[in-house]
Amino acid sequence: MSDQEDLDYYIMFPSFPPSPKDPTLTTGSQDQREEFVFVYKEDKRPVIVLLGWAGCQDKYLAKYSAIYEEKSCITLRYTAPVECLFWRRDKMPYIGKRLIQVITDKSLDQHPIFFHVFSNGGAFLYQHVSLAMQQANSPLKVKGVIFDSAPGERRLTTLFKAISAIIGGHPLTNIPMSFFITIFLSILWFLEVLTKILLYRGSLPHK
């Protein structure tokens, strides 16, 4: 991904007032329980930024955003590319800054903003979004963050399951490929951590 490439994001501006399909609305004489309520003005509707898990397809993330859209919330969906999450992680700072730019360009920065972050992939992306917000001239009005199944422990078994789910296909090809990629990424990340430790020690003043 170069700095000239754009992000594959989706923004929804639902109608106001809430959709009649909203299952939490009262219909007829039957009262249905409200699971959550947003209190807001029409011109300051909440913006929900959904950051998908590694390998997430938008059709699955859209099912979660639909819950907020039924409440007339504006939603922005984005999932970082798998290659950026695993082995091209130097691209993540740009993605974080670009997401902030998208929110600003769409004039959503004056709205109350909530993040819904899924799994380690979404949490890793949010880390860079958070850093980008700290560096921005006008910080966003973030009112809350939902960490959904995140962050999780970095284990080989967890990594293997995540890669296996992303690859899919028949077990005869899935298992060997997932095993190979898991070992490769584990070695790569170990060398990355070792390099950072050596660089840190090298930067310390000598006595």
Domain ranges of the chain: 10-152, 153-207
What does each C-alpha distance from 110 to 8, 16, 106 come to in angstroms? 23, 18, 10
More confident residue, 69 or 140: 69
pLDDT at residue 4 tops 60? no
Tell me the β-bridge partners of 76: 11, 49
Q: What is the pLDDT of residue 141?
A: 84
Once rounded to an integer, what is the mean pLDDT over residues 113-128? 94
DSSP 8-state symbol, 200: H
Q: What is the DSSP string of 71-82?
A: TT-EEEEE---H
pLDDT (mean) for 179-200:
76
Cβ–Cβ under 8 Å, residues 163 and 182: yes
- Per-residue pLDDT of 82-91, as tens digits, reads 888 887 888 9
Amino acid at 71: K
CATH no. of 10-152? 3.40.50
| Strand 74-78 relative to strand 113-118, pairing | unpaired
Number of H helices, E strands in the chain: 6, 5
* Per-residue confidence (pLDDT) for residue 68, from 0 to 100: 94
